[in-house]
Amino acid sequence: MKSITPQELQVNLDKWLDEIIETGIPLEILRGGKRLRIIPVEPLDKFEKLVYRPQVILGNAEDLIDINWEQEVNLDLP
């Protein structure tokens, strides 16, 4: 969690609010020896930002045991 001063918050309020919305990470403001936090009310949906990767193998992990990797991997190391 980042900690900033009220002056830093005031100068870049939009930037900090956008970062909190994007990451879901609270922001801590230190003022007069007290700590304040800005946190998102709604939790961040981490699955929303997943990137589709068609090359990923879907299925049962046990099926990977029978794959012959010799054609895919060159084990001739220098």
CATH number at residue 14: 3.40.1620
Residue 77 lies in a domain: no
Which pair of structure tokens corresponds to residue 1?
A: 């969690």
Read off the pTM.
0.57
Q: Which residues pair with 27 in a beta bridge?
A: 2, 38
Domain membership of residue 78 (yes or no) is no
Structural domain range at position 45? 2-62
Q: For residue 55, is it within any domain?
A: yes
Cβ-based neighbour number of residue 39 at 10 Å? 11
Query: Is 78 a residue whose pLDDT tops 70?
Result: no
What sections of 12-50 are H helices per DSSP? Answer: 13-23
> Tens digit of pLDDT for each residue in 28-41?
999 999 999 999 99
Q: Are 24 and 40 in contact (CB under 8 A)?
A: yes
Report the number of distinct structural domains present in the chain: 1
| 3-class state of residue 36 by DSSP | strand
